Amino acid sequence: MENKWLDEKASECIARYGERWGRDLALRTYSGRLIGQEKELVLHGGGNTSVKTTWTDVFGQPIPVLFVKASGQDLATIEPDGHVALDLEYLKRLRTLPALPDGTMLDELHTHRLAAGGARPSIEALLHAFLPAKYVDHTHADAILALTNQRNGDAVIRDALGGDVVVLAYIKPGFPLAKAAAAAFDASPGCKGMVLGKHGLLTWDDDPLSSYGKTIELVTRAEEYLEGKARKPRKRRRGTSAATARARYGKVAPILRGLLAVPTGDADRPYRRFVLSPLVTEEVLDLVDSDRGKEIALSPPLTSDHLIRTKALPLWIDNPPYDDEKGFRERVSNAVAEYARHYEDYFRRHASRLSPGLERFDAMPRVILLPGLGAVCAGGDVGEAGTVRDIVAQTLAVKTKVVSVGAYEGLDEEHLFDMEYFSLQHAKLVGEELPLRRCVALVTGAAGAIGAGICQGLLENGCHVSATDLPGDPLAGLVADLRRTHDDRIIGVPLDVTDPKSVADGFGQVVREWGGIDLFVINAGVAHVSSLADLESEAFRRLARVNIDGTLHVLSEAARLFRKQNTGGDIVLISTKNVFAPGARFGAYSATKAAAHQLARIASLELAEIGVRVNMVSPDAVFSHGTRKSGLWAEVGPDRMRARDLDERGLEEYYRNRNLLKAKITAAHVARAVLYFATRQTPTTGATIPVDGGLPDATPR
């Protein structure tokens, strides 16, 4: 592993942060980032670093302070304020206590912060406080884990790293580990570093470069040792091709997602769903297709701090019948049920040690391994699923390395349980969830004014949104805009609703991205102004293709997907006030939208038995959303302005004044009506919410 320290970059950090935070913390920030940016040292908020320096209190008195990484902070991008300032002298006194329960330790850490509020200190803060060195670096380096997770791991480490490294047997993080590490240091103060058994590496020194340099040096020694011992890899790979595996995933993802959903017992929200992220690489395929794949995959994890996201063990499916949908469903369903039984037994075996206030988690796996496909990872949203995927990729790679040099030996079950149900780890999990966090939506006609408003409303409520529209700048622009705030919870999927193949392909893209779809908002529509006397048949057909055929294609494909997923779902059709109160010279639009509306009502009749609710929202004139003008009004507006002798603003005023509430109707209003249905506030299907400010002629009846 390369030592990436550059004096000029370190000086830049001092120049940038030194005045406000001091030189010590500026350098801590710099070398912390070097560690964080090395994926083979730490993953997703793992690892932690600290510096001991001085803090000036309000009386101007300097007091000793420990700056330690805040819990959950990503070292790769850490800032000085990503560290928590703690009263070092007080923390050091804690070492004299014979024991300190987890909850009390957390209270002590929280109440001895030097700045109120803000971040939670790392649960390994005392490990840093009890070691006397100024800078302390703690990582979960892959190469070190590959050594310590072996039978006779201690001897392997000594052989690989030399005698100047202390090896500590596995101890659960928290007070006991902090005390044991400090005692081990006292016994060998001249040692170069400390390997924490089945956990990671600890180095320290009085300057940041030396401490960081020791981490790199020891990891390099471990890497070279592994390299030297490794048997030569086979030249040719034997696993399934990635293209075949991906095609299989597209077919089975909704089935897997449906089977993983946790029943809640709540009739309105009957499942707690997961978002899926596939890990389909040649390395993983070679492993799951190999003779020892199952044995390797079902061994305990490398390090215990990933357990809250991955659970201790994945689910393995033997010989999945990919070409037989019914057989595949049955095979996985049985395997999931067996996994759940084992999980419940495991919980019962250890429940007597459970911390007060904690309950059993759901018994579903977070990782499924399938020969001929790869790994499928599950999380509450795309970010969490991605974290699980990265952990699984690292775990499988390191385990493969281990078995190429020796025999893998992970933590025992008791330690796994204690870490999975470690109260201090749970603060890292999401508390209150946004209502649509676990939901995947597909919106058609997303690039228009109403579509954009709906996408935004869904995203703000935690939803994953696939924005679909014809390919082109409006769709690309919308997705780029929304990505700025909502990251990878929004994707753009170009599709043409008039073409059933394009619709099916678009759905397939969303399924491969997130595993399935729970909510369809059918919003694509076009308008045309003409009296019946002048209405050309082709103009009518053009509207029918989008407004009727397009609605039908989405409804049909959605019905098939919902049946496959088997966890219910929602469809919301954006209808129109014209269905109830049509306008003159607007025959093609009113008639085709009425057909779409009727199709959605039929869907509500047909899909209720599989738990799918279908409802309609009927807005009156929405002219724009932000800078996005309504395409429909670009078509209709000029005619209506001419007819009423009004300009654009006058026309908007006219529509506002014609409703009972004198309300200007916005895309955000339409989005809120969609959210009412999507969040399932009432047991309602086949119903219409008007969003029109009150138009007695257009009230649905």
- CB atoms under 10 Å from CB of 39, counted, come to 13
- CB atoms under 10 Å from CB of 135, counted, come to 26
Interatomic CA distance for residues 404 and 442, integer angstroms: 45
CA distances from 255 to 110, 250, 330, 335, 603 (A): 45, 10, 10, 13, 22
Going by their DSSP bridges, the two strands 569-574 and 612-619 should be labelled as: parallel
Please say whether the dihedral angle defined by the alpha carbons of residues 210, 212, 215 and 216, taken in this order, is positive or negative.
Answer: negative
Pick the closer one to Zn ion by CB: 200 or 208.
Answer: 200
For the bound state, the minimum distance from the C-beta of residue 107 to Zn ion, rounded and expressed in Å, comes to: 21
For the bound state, the minimum distance from the C-beta of residue 67 to Zn ion, rounded and expressed in Å, comes to: 18
For the bound state, the minimum distance from the C-beta of residue 365 to Zn ion, rounded and expressed in Å, comes to: 24
Enumerate residues 525-544 that contact Zn ion by CB under 5 A. Answer: none
For the bound state, the minimum distance from the C-beta of residue 206 to Zn ion, rounded and expressed in Å, comes to: 22
Pick the closer one to Zn ion by CB: 215 or 456.
Answer: 215
Enumerate residues 660-689 that contact Zn ion by CB under 5 A. Answer: none
Pick the closer one to Zn ion by CB: 176 or 327.
Answer: 176
Pick the closer one to Zn ion by CB: 86 or 622.
Answer: 86
Pick the closer one to Zn ion by CB: 201 or 614.
Answer: 201
**Residue that has been written with the tokens 């990635």 in this structure:** 242
Which one of the spans 97-105, 177-185, 195-203, 277-285 is the region binding Zn ion (CB under 5 A)? 195-203
Pick the closer one to Zn ion by CB: 195 or 447.
Answer: 195
Angle between helices 500-514 and 242-260 (to 10 degrees): 80
DSSP string, 158-198: HHHH-TTEEEE----TTHHHHHHHHHHHHH-TT-SEEEETT
For the bound state, the minimum distance from the C-beta of residue 137 to Zn ion, rounded and expressed in Å, comes to: 11
Over the range 653-683, which residues count as b (16 or more CB within 10 Å of their CB) and which as e?
Answer: eebbeebeeebebbbbbbbbbbbbbbebeee
Residue pair 305/419 in contact by the 8 Å Cβ criterion:
yes
Residues 6+ apart with CB under 8 A from 260: 273, 274, 276, 336, 364, 365, 368, 378
For the bound state, the minimum distance from the C-beta of residue 225 to Zn ion, rounded and expressed in Å, comes to: 22
Going by their DSSP bridges, the two strands 374-379 and 367-370 should be labelled as: antiparallel
Pick the closer one to Zn ion by CB: 22 or 32.
Answer: 32
Pick the closer one to Zn ion by CB: 144 or 396.
Answer: 144
For the bound state, the minimum distance from the C-beta of residue 199 to Zn ion, rounded and expressed in Å, comes to: 6
Which one of the spans 15-23, 192-200, 340-348, 435-443 is the region binding Zn ion (CB under 5 A)? 192-200
Q: H or E stretch including 637?
A: helix 631-644
Which one of the spans 193-201, 256-264, 308-316, 384-392 is the region binding Zn ion (CB under 5 A)? 193-201
Pick the closer one to Zn ion by CB: 160 or 181.
Answer: 181
Which one of the spans 14-22, 196-204, 374-382, 591-599 is the region binding Zn ion (CB under 5 A)? 196-204
SS (HEC) of 62-106: EEEEEEEEECCCCHHHCCHHHEEEEEHHHHHHHHHCCCCCHHHHH
Instruction: Count interface residues toward Zn ion (CB under 5 A).
Output: 1
Enumerate residues 438-477 that contact Zn ion by CB under 5 A. Answer: none
Angle between helices 23-36 and 7-21 (to 10 degrees): 130
Residue pair 125/445 in contact by the 8 Å Cβ criterion:
no
For the bound state, the minimum distance from the C-beta of residue 200 to Zn ion, rounded and expressed in Å, comes to: 5
Closest residue to Zn ion, Cβ-based? 200
For the bound state, the minimum distance from the C-beta of residue 139 to Zn ion, rounded and expressed in Å, comes to: 8
Pick the closer one to Zn ion by CB: 133 or 548.
Answer: 133
Pick the closer one to Zn ion by CB: 200 or 525.
Answer: 200
Enumerate residues 200-259 that contact Zn ion by CB under 5 A. Answer: 200
Pick the closer one to Zn ion by CB: 200 or 371.
Answer: 200
**Residue that has been written with the tokens 């996201």 in this structure:** 309
Pick the closer one to Zn ion by CB: 50 or 592.
Answer: 50
For the bound state, the minimum distance from the C-beta of residue 419 to Zn ion, rounded and expressed in Å, comes to: 11
Residue pair 623/633 in contact by the 8 Å Cβ criterion:
yes
Which one of the spans 198-206, 568-576, 620-628, 638-646 is the region binding Zn ion (CB under 5 A)? 198-206
For the bound state, the minimum distance from the C-beta of residue 109 to Zn ion, rounded and expressed in Å, comes to: 16
Which one of the spans 99-107, 194-202, 306-314, 513-521 is the region binding Zn ion (CB under 5 A)? 194-202
Which one of the spans 197-205, 217-225, 262-270, 601-609 is the region binding Zn ion (CB under 5 A)? 197-205
For the bound state, the minimum distance from the C-beta of residue 26 to Zn ion, rounded and expressed in Å, comes to: 24
Angle at 359 between CA 355 and CA 364, to 5 degrees: 130
For the bound state, the minimum distance from the C-beta of residue 177 to Zn ion, rounded and expressed in Å, comes to: 9
Pick the closer one to Zn ion by CB: 26 or 202.
Answer: 202
Interatomic CA distance for residues 669 and 664, integer angstroms: 10
Token pair belonging to 360: 């059993």
φ/ψ (deg, to 5) at 165: -120, 130
Token pair belonging to 358: 């904690």
Interatomic CA distance for residues 646 and 545, integer angstroms: 32
Token pair belonging to 120: 């939670």
φ/ψ (deg, to 5) at 333: -60, -45
For the bound state, the minimum distance from the C-beta of residue 304 to Zn ion, rounded and expressed in Å, comes to: 8
Name the site residues for Zn ion (rule: CB under 5 A). 200
